[in-house]
Amino acid sequence: MTETLPMAGATANVNLAGLTKNDYRGAPTTLCQGCGHNSISNQIVTALYEMNIVPENVVKFSGIGCSSKSPTYFLNRSFGFNSLHGRMPSIATGALFGDYHLKGVGVSGDGDSASIGMGQFKHIMRRNVNMVYIVENNGVYGLTKGQFSATAEKGLSLKKQGENPYMPIDICMEALVSNATFVARSFAGNPKQVKELLKAALSHDGIALLDIISPCVTFNNQVNAYHSYAWGKDHEEPLHEISYIAPRNEIMLEDEMADGEVREVAMHDGSVVILKNLEKGYDTSSRIEAMRVMEEAQRNAWMLTGLLYLDTSKPNLTSIYNLVDTPLNRLTEADLRPAPKTIDRVNALMF
């Protein structure tokens, strides 16, 4: 059988995997028109297409909520598991043991990850499961029609809900203190940055947390709300511009580096992420620095975007387990059932 097949009569615009962008698309979205989540789905399609990643090598995961519906809207050719509210991390953790060569792409929301799923969220971070973990963060529960989520800022007013009396949870901070190895924030209204960060996240061997502020056009898009387009556009403070350079494009690096204000970060797969610092030499390898800039941004009401923290030295979860080269889900009885003579050994071990 053929290793990878384009879905249908591909003629032009194929990538190095021989696939068209169509091969990366999903079913038509059923989310609201103008929803930031749709824009993110599009960037997922584009990023994977441009990176020449075969859809069969990706597994999609999600929990419950508007964001968690979105895996239906991209990568038709990838397996996917739309699991339970707040439980995407555990499903993904187990599933990726099936074939550790696969890359996970998970889409969750602020309710799914920061409220009901906070426990599992933090534990998948510390386990360094090999997946991109996207939080489509809008500060509100959409499917249940507009309740505050745990990331909504204090004092935010919503129709029917009144004023939010609680302090918010910062997803990037939570990821960082849980020892995540890749922590980034972006804004759905900045598709170029979303795409570049997605590419960097896909190259990362381990958990890559990507908190994307994705305004809810229906329930939380007042001009003064943190998770709104207007606010986001006015207050976005990129840490740095980010360019993703695939391994085969490495030759281009020299041109990019010309202005001298760049920092290269080598990823496991040989690709390079280039960070262009805007104001100061931001060090993505420093947890303390990441904490400091996040704290500063919070105090100044900045929406800090970019790659906040990166550690490429930690092994991912499945590699800790020293698994056989063959995917576990292709092992057969001969690999899995001890030989008949071992039963005597076992019985001899008993009293």
Partner 1 sequence: MNKVINDFSITVGTVNGSGSSTANNTILRAIFKMGIPVSGKNLFPSNIQGLPTWYTIRANKDGFIAHHEKRDIVIAMNTNSFVRDLASVAPGGAFFYADDIKLSITRDDIAVYPMPVKAIIRNDPNVPADYRDLVGNMVYVGVLAHMIGLDMEKIYSALDFHFKKKQKPIDMNFNVVKAGVEWAKINLEKKDPFHLEPMDKTEGMIMADGNMAGALGSIFGGVQFVGWYPITPATSLAESLNDYLPQLRKREDGKHTYAVVQAEDELAALGMSIGAGWAGLRSMTSTSGPGLSLMTEFAGLAYYAEVPVVIWDVQRIGPSTGLPTRTSQGDLTFTYFIGHGDSQSVILLPGDVYECFEFGWKAFDIAERIQTPVFVLSDLDMGMNQWISKPFQYPDTPMDRGKVLMESDIEELKGSWGRYLDKDGDGIGYRTFPGNKHPLSSYLTRGTGHDEYAKYTEESGMYLKNMDRLKKKHETAKHYVPAPVLHGKKGATVGILGYGSTESAILEAQDQLEKEHRLKTDFLRIRALPCTKEVDTFLAKYDQIFIVEMNRDGQMAQILMTEYPQYAPNFKVVAYGDGMPASAKWVREGILAKYKAKKAVKKVAAKTAPAKKKPTARKAVSAKKASAKKVTTKAIAGPKSKTKRK
What does the binding site for partner 1 look like in residue numbers (CB under 8 A)? 1, 3-5, 7, 23, 27, 54-56, 59-60, 71-72, 76-84, 87, 89-99, 101-102, 119-120, 123, 318, 321-325, 327-331, 333, 335-338, 340, 342-343, 346-347, 350-351
> For residues 266 and 331, which CB has a smaller minimum distance to partner 1 in the complex?
331
Closer Cβ to partner 1, 160 or 341, answer by number: 341
Decide whether 102 or 207 has the Cβ nearer to partner 1: 102
Closest CB 87 distance from partner 1, rounded Å: 5
What is the smallest separation between the CB atom of 130 and partner 1, expressed in angstroms?
13
Task: Give the β-pairing of 303-310 and 182-187.
Answer: antiparallel
Indicate the residue among 119 and 281 with the shorter CB distance to partner 1: 119
Distance CA 151, CA 171 (A): 8
Secondary structure element (H or E) that encloses residue 262, with its range: strand 262-266
Q: How far is CA 240 from CA 94, 198, 274, 279, in A?
A: 35, 15, 9, 8
Compare residues 5 and 278 and give the one whose CB is closer to partner 1: 5
Contacts of 226 (CB under 8 A, 6+ apart): 139, 152, 153, 156, 213, 232, 301, 303
Beta carbons of 131 and 210 less than 8 angstroms apart: no
Query: Which residue, 286 or 329, has its beta carbon nearer to partner 1?
Result: 329
Q: Which residues pair with 158 in a beta bridge?
A: 162
Closest approach, Cβ 183 to partner 1, in A, equals 20
We find the least distance from the C-beta atom of residue 144 to partner 1, in angstroms, to be 17
Min dist CB 12 to partner 1, Å, is 19
Beta carbon nearer to partner 1, 98 or 191:
98
Among all chains, which residue has been given the structure tokens 């690096």? 253
Please enumerate, as own/partner, the contacts of 235-238 that have beta carbons within 8 Å and a separation of 24 or more. Answer: 235/301, 235/302, 235/303, 236/187, 236/189, 236/190, 236/302, 236/303, 236/305, 237/297, 237/302, 237/303, 237/304, 237/305, 238/190, 238/193, 238/278, 238/304, 238/305, 238/306
In the bound state with partner 1, the residue whose beta carbon lies nearer, of 89 and 232, is 89
Copy the structure tokens of residue 344.
Answer: 């005597």
The distance of closest approach from Cβ of residue 10 to partner 1 in the complex, given in angstroms and rounded to an integer, is 12
Alpha-carbon span 246 to 49, nearest angstrom: 12
State the Cα–Cα distance between residues 149 and 141, nearest whole angstrom. Answer: 6
Rounded to 10 deg, the angle between the 88-95 and 118-127 helix axes is: 30
Task: Please report how close the Cβ of residue 346 comes to partner 1 at its closest, in angstroms.
Answer: 6
